[in-house]
């Protein structure tokens, strides 16, 4: 799991004889100058919680290998798997030991309710996606919290007309 690091800087306070007085409108520039001269405390925390997940299957999804399909096993993290409730939700994935790479936002390609998640990833040189495309069965990834509202599949009307719904998207931020 991720360690939580706290960093606290110094807070300098100066007593003021007018600490409880309501400032007059003309004194606001004075207050702005006084506020600029103070050093304020800052707390920095790594609030992200990462769930380790072993790769349970891995293989190319295209003949040229530019797309890969892999699954992660969440049988040891049932509560985490249960937090995926709606198709279209996504999460952050990072590869342990690859600290120079930013975690990647990835859409979950499997339906909710399973004991694992599936992903379809296009390789992009120099990114986390490239590292994900070089995985092997048994490698461990770290998954961030499930995010997004997903797609309201229940709003398909009439539901009997659409026995299968396929959702396709590329890029980031598509709604």
pLDDT in tens, 144-173: 999 999 888 778 777 777 777 777 766 655
Work out the angle at residue 169's Cα, subtended by the Cα atoms of residues 167 and 171, and round it to the nearest 5 degrees. 160
By percentage, how much of the chain surpasses pLDDT 90? 47
Q: What is the pTM of this model?
A: 0.65
pLDDT at 171: 63
Q: Is the distance from CB of 98 to CB of 131 less than 8 angstroms?
A: yes
What pLDDT is attached to residue 46? 46
The CB density around residue 144, as the number of other CB atoms within 10 Å, is: 18
Q: CATH assignment of 51-152, given 2.40.30.10, 2.50.20.10, 3.30.930.10, 3.90.1070.10?
A: 2.40.30.10
Please state the domain extents for the chain: 7-44, 51-152
> Which of the four pLDDT bands, split at 50, 70 and 90, describes residue 29?
low
> How far is Cα 111 from Cα 71, in angstroms, rounded to an integer?
12
108-150 pLDDT, tens digit per residue, is 999 999 899 999 999 889 999 999 999 999 999 999 999 999 8
The predicted pLDDT at position 172 comes to 59
Q: How confident is the model at residue 50 (pLDDT cuts 50, 70, 90)?
A: very high
């Amino acid at each position: 799991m991720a360690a939580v690091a706290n960093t606290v800087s110094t807070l300098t306070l100066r007593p003021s004889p007018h600490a409880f007085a309501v400032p007059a409108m003309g004194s606001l520039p004075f207050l702005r100058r006084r506020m600029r001269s103070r050093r304020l405390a800052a707390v920095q925390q790594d609030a992200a919680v990462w769930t380790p997940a072993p790769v349970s299957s891995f293989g190319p999804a295209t003949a040229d290998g530019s797309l890969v399909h892999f699954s992660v096993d969440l049988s040891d993290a049932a509560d985490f798997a249960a937090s995926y409730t709606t198709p279209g939700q996504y999460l952050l994935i990072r590869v342990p030991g690859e600290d120079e790479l930013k975690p990647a936002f990835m859409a979950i390609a499997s339906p909710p309710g399973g004991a694992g998640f599936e992903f379809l990833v296009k390789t992009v040189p120099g990114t986390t996606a490239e590292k994900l495309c070089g995985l092997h069965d048994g490698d461990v990834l770290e998954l961030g919290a499930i995010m997004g509202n997903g797609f309201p599949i229940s709003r398909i009307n009439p539901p009997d007309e659409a026995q299968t719904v396929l959702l396709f998207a590329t890029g980031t931020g598509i709604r």
